Amino acid sequence: MSESLRVVIVGHGVIGSTVAARVATGEVVGAELVAVVNRSPVANPPAQQLDLPAALKGADLVVECAGQPVVHEIVDQVVSAGVDLLVTSVGALLDPELSGRLPQLGPGRVLATHGAVGGLDLLAAASRGGGFESVLMRTTKQPGALIRQWMEPEQIELLRTATEPVLVFSGTPNEAVALFPESLNIVAGVATAIGSVEPLRVELYADPAATMSTHRIQARAQLGEYLFEVRNFPSRDNPRSSAITPFSVLHSISGLTQHPPAVL
């Protein structure tokens, strides 16, 4: 590895462009932006725009900010080149085919950002100390951010006209990330931290009065009971996701550099 961590950003959209710009200006001590990879041409990229094979030649870390399908597209290529992959679209890691192969992949590592939630360090600790009886994750967002093409017209109408909170989804983590791939990656972050999907149940609410996206994690573990409530402002450029997310990715990159202090 060179002295600084050589970073490639895949996906130069709302999240990736913020991450790329800030790594490029040296905001993450010990990291440098060497390339961006994006489906379409990027006007004035903060580093050279390359295709993935070319970008991998000079990379230590690829940061995915492009969506769950892109994780599936690139994961083998990145880690088999000995490059670490930091995943933002963490929901992809719950896919049964990919999750089954993860322990065999390498020599690069597959890493997940905590993204728009927190408390994962303590949940990971509790999973080592006896595990969980139950974990309930309840997310509330603005109705407009949750409308999906696969919904029945009646459900779309209900979301458009809601005057009070509506339960949009209740189910397993795998169902959650498959049905809401741009909105519930955080569920996979929690599942990864606790090392299992089994104790985790997910509820998604649409609230017309919501000015913030709320994620409430309520966990009952052998070592204690934990309640985390995160209230994020939605991103101005993409109301489906939280404005904090690119900064969480920057924090995750910072944790991979050699520069203390780091909270691990």
Ligand X SMILES: O=C([O-])CC(=O)C(=O)O
Is 259 labeled as catalytic in the residue annotation?
A: no
- Nearest approach, Cβ of 186 to ligand NDP (angstroms)? 5
- Is 116 one of the annotated binding-site residues? yes
Identified binder of ligand X from the candidate list 184, 191, 200, 250, rule CB under 6 A: 184
Residues 42-101 that bind ligand X (CB under 6 A): none
Identified binder of ligand X from the candidate list 18, 127, 241, 248, rule CB under 6 A: 241
Residues 100-119 that bind ligand X (CB under 6 A): 115-116
Stretch that binds ligand X, among 17-25, 57-65, 159-167, 241-249 (CB under 6 A): 241-249
Instruction: Tell me the two tokens of residue 199.
Output: 């104790």
**Residue 66 binds ligand NDP (CB under 6 A):** yes
Kindly name the residue from 12, 215, 251, 259 that is annotated as catalytic: 215
> Which residues bind to ligand X, rule: CB under 6 A?
115-116, 182-186, 213, 232, 240-242, 245
Footprint of ligand NDP (CB under 6 A): 10-16, 37-40, 65-68, 70, 73, 88-90, 113, 115-116, 181-182, 185-186, 189, 238, 241, 245
Residues flagged as binding site for NAD(+): 116, 185
Q: Catalytic amino acids?
A: 215
